[in-house]
Structures are given as structure tokens and as C-alpha cells.
Chain A
């Protein structure tokens, strides 16, 4: 750790990991309700559990981004963070808001726009926290060295915060409500968050591979250009069937096809940098997560997104389990895995020690990634059957759902693997080994089989 104020990131990462645990446990419970629908049906209905599952995800990913910014901006700008106190104040506001939101969901107080269910005071809290963050980080960047990584990171964070304004705009016309709602939901995950993702990935590549900064930063600009050129008009793929003009079917289909490009570019970029780089960085687990994030993001967001994005296909698959399959793998690959890569890289540095628990950490990668891949496959099969029976044949929703039981059972199994992987990850990060194992004297060791 070069700068003392980077330590702020530690608190952000720990809180983010706590919410990560809540998120996956909530998901597991929701998955179990698909298998045994009477579970908690009167005490804690499905809609509340799903709210906690999705909200916890979004908040912990954002906390991870904020933490990553506080970690990497001092190194990039070559100076301490403008105000450490403001950074902690921001975290406290976000924690109070999150706990307040969860508590009010549990007693039945919530909004009804998907993912934006937070009570109004929590939304304002998020706004205040975002403003504090932007001021704090911008003053740090402006006073220090400017790099492409901080430029892109700040552009992404400023734009995503500005888009939060639409959380307060809820027209009583449902179609308008939906259109502006996508200004947050789509332009976050398929726009501004990609800028944050690409800049964090570029930072990790810079540190882990030792490739020349000029090369990394040039490609960073190319990647984020393809992300916004495709992603902004790609919003059209959400505008097909909600009461908007027909032209969105062509605009959305064409531009969202190009949304595969930035994800393919990030994957290629990561592998080429590792291949070109000569640095043999000791944190192998961080490298695995970085390459894994880029790869799974390409499949989850890129391939599974394209799978149902063309309007002729989407006419039949819209709002089926196909969407759920894509959503899970895309979020896992692009944003969960990337955050975990950053945690894995930064935690040992923040604790002032060499990388620890790497084998456990890498096991958790394969458990989680395997589980998510399996979950995506079974949901895709469920969605394919649902699309055919419900949208083509015309059978009723619940009749179709009853035939999909086996897939939901397998999805629950996949969820168990993901939760075990997540808990293993948290253990590997939060419980560092206390002893350092010294290599022994090889000559004095007994021969194999003689011990």
C-alpha cells in the first residue's frame, strides 16, 4: 500500500462482502421457494425475498466500485485521497440506508418499481452519498496525475450518479415510467458500469501483467468507445413491447448485436495482456478472477444477451426464464467476478502481507463459476420449454411452470454450489492464515513411502 488513505477501501470491501453473503443466501431461499412454494409464503413472501436478493446485489457491487475507486485513484493520481473522513461518512450513510431499506422491506414498506424499491429517504441518502463520493474522488483526481484509467472510471461514476436522478422520476403513465426506468437499469449495467468495469480491469492488468501503460490505456479507450457506441442505442432492445414506437425493434436489434463487441474485446484484451506481460505476479488468484470475469462476462452478457436480443426472437422469449438465465450469468461474470478480482488483488495489500489462501480462493472461483454456469444452462432449458409451450402453443403460465419442476430443482442444486463457493471465498478473504509455512529442508525429508 503506497498511500495511507487507500486503507478506506478495506472498510468498503468488508461491508460489500457482508452484503454479498446476504445476497446469495436470499437467492438460495428464493430458489428453494420455486421448489417448495409454501415455504414462508405468509411470513416472508417471494416478492420481499427477491427484493432483498436484487437490492443487496446492487448495493454491494456499488460498494465494491466505490472501494475500488478509493483504492486505485491514489495510486493513479499519485496522492492521498482528498478527505478520508468524507469517505467514511459516505460509507456510513450507505450502510444506514441499506439496513434501513432491508428493515422496511421486512415490515412491508417499499416502492414497486423493480430494483428501485427503496423508500424515498434511502434514495436521497444514496444521492447524498454519491455526491460526497464524486466530490471527494474528483478533487483527488484533479489535483494529481491524470491517467486514462481515472478518466474513464470518473466518467463512468459521474454518469451513473447523474442517471440516479431518474430514480425520483416516476410518471403515472406506465409506458413512460418503463421508458425512464430503463435509463437507470440499462444505462447502468450496459453503459456506465461497463466503463467502471473496463477501467478496473485495465488497472488490474497494469498491476498483474506489467504491460506498458500506453498500450493498456489506448485499448481501454477503444473498449469503452465500443461499449457506449453500442450500449446507448442498444437500450432499444428494452423498448420493443412496452408501448414505444416500432422503430426501436430495428434500432435495438442492430445496436444491441454490437453490444457483444466490448465484452469480446475485454476478454481478448485480458488474455493478450497476460500473454504479452512478463511480470510473474504472486497473486495468482487475482489473475484467475480477472481472466474469469472477462470470460464469463463475454458469455453471460455477450452470448446469452445476443441469444434473445433480436426482436424476432425476443417477441417469444421476452419475460421468460431465458431472461433469468442471461441476467444471472451476466451479472456474475461482468460485475460480481470483477469485484471479487479486485478484492482478491487488494485485500493482501491492504493488510500489508503477501497473497494468502490462494488455493481456497481459486477453489471458490471454480465452485461459484461452475454453479453459475450450470444454473444458466438449466434456466435456459426451462426458458426454451416455457417459450415453446406458453408463447407458441399457448398453454397457460401455471400449467407450463408445473412441467418445469425438474429444472428448478437442478437450479437449486446449482445455487447450493454458488453459496458454498461464496462462503469459501469470504473465508479465504476474511480469515488470513496466521502462520506462514516455511519451506523445510528438502534433504532431511523422508523419501516417499518411507515416512
Chain B
């Protein structure tokens, strides 16, 4: 073994093999990038409102309590399918109203229950957030999550 696998051979395998896998990975990434833009997220246009909604989502760091497509903290419910759960995926006005009402009622103050903070969000931003969550919901996520519970 020690004659066949010398240190310099091991080094060459490491550098050569890694380069090979990096090239394969980059090629697959380019394909995936195009797939996302042309197929999986093409169900709803990426409007300025959706972009604004994503900024609102980020500014308040919602990801550090909730999950979105299963990624984030595990302290609060999944929101990648929240619009489906609320039955307003195809109803922009309804989505805004239910989200607005929900967020304005926070924090609930109920003892022993996890608390969502109060956020200062304008009406335009709230509409954007609702659009962003509907946009995320219509993404083709290979049928994940398994059910509406998220």
C-alpha cells in the first residue's frame, strides 16, 4: 500500500479530483440557475412588490424564528406554504388582510405561549410581504412540505 500510494500521489489525487468535482458542480449550478428562473419560480412574476416583500422579510430577520422552505430557525411555523394553509394563495387582497390582521395582533402576550414581536410595517410593505409569501408558496419545491401543516 505504502509503495502504491505515496504522499505525492495522494496530493495529486486530492488536487486533481477536487478540481474535477468543482467543474462538475459549477456546471450543475449553471443549469440549476436557469431551471429556477425559467421553470420552478416562473409561476408568478417577480414584481417590485415581491422584491420589497423579500426586503421586509430580511430586515426583520424572520428567518431566525420561522422556517422558509424548511430552512431557518425551528422556533415558529413554516411560512413557505402559509398562504396555502390560510387558503389565500390566489387571492392577493385576502392574503394581505389576513397577514396584516395577524401581525398587528402580535405579540399576543398569552402566558406560556411563544411570542411573535410587534413590527412597524407600512401598508405598502405589508402588501409586499404578502406577495412575497405567495410568490414563495407557488415555487415548485418538489411537493415539499408533505402536507399543509408545513
Contacts and interface: CB of A to CB of B under 8 A. Distances in A.
Interface of A: 33-34, 36-38, 41-42, 45-48, 50-51, 110-114, 117, 148, 151, 172-179, 214, 217-219, 221-222, 224-225, 228-229, 232-233, 235, 238-249, 251, 315-316, 318-321, 323-324, 390-392, 394-398, 401
Interface of B: 2, 5-7, 10-11, 13-14, 17-18, 21-22, 24-25, 28-29, 31-33, 35-37, 40-41, 46, 50-51, 54, 57-65, 67-78, 107, 109, 111-115, 117-118, 132, 135-136, 139-142, 144-150
Nearest to A51: B64
Please list the 8 inter-chain residue pairs (A to B) with the smallest Cβ-Cβ separation, ordered nearest first: A112-B58, A319-B70, A47-B64, A241-B144, A41-B115, A221-B10, A397-B77, A225-B14
A245 B32 contact: yes
A47 B136 CA distance: 21
Given A175-B36, A176-B36, A228-B14, A243 B69 contact: yes
B24 A233 contact: yes
Contacts of A316: 146
A245 B46 contact: no
Contact of B7 (A41, A217, A319, A392): A217
A240 B21 CA distance: 19
7 contacts: A46-B73, A173-B37, A224-B14, A225-B10, A244-B32, A245-B32, A318-B70
A218 B3 CA distance: 12
Nearest to A323: B74
B139 A244 contact: no
Contacts of B18: 225, 228-229, 232
Contact of A240 (B7, B17, B35, B144): B144
A232 B67 CA distance: 25
B41 A394 contact: no
A117 B61 contact: yes
A175 B25 contact: no
Contacts of A218: 2, 5-7, 10
B71 A243 contact: no
Task: Identify the interface centre among B6, B65, B74, B111: most chain A CB within 10 Å of its CB.
Answer: B74
A38 B115 contact: yes
A112 B61 contact: yes
Contacts of A228: 14, 17-18, 21
A289 to B, nearest CB: 26
B78 A243 contact: no
Contacts of A110: 61
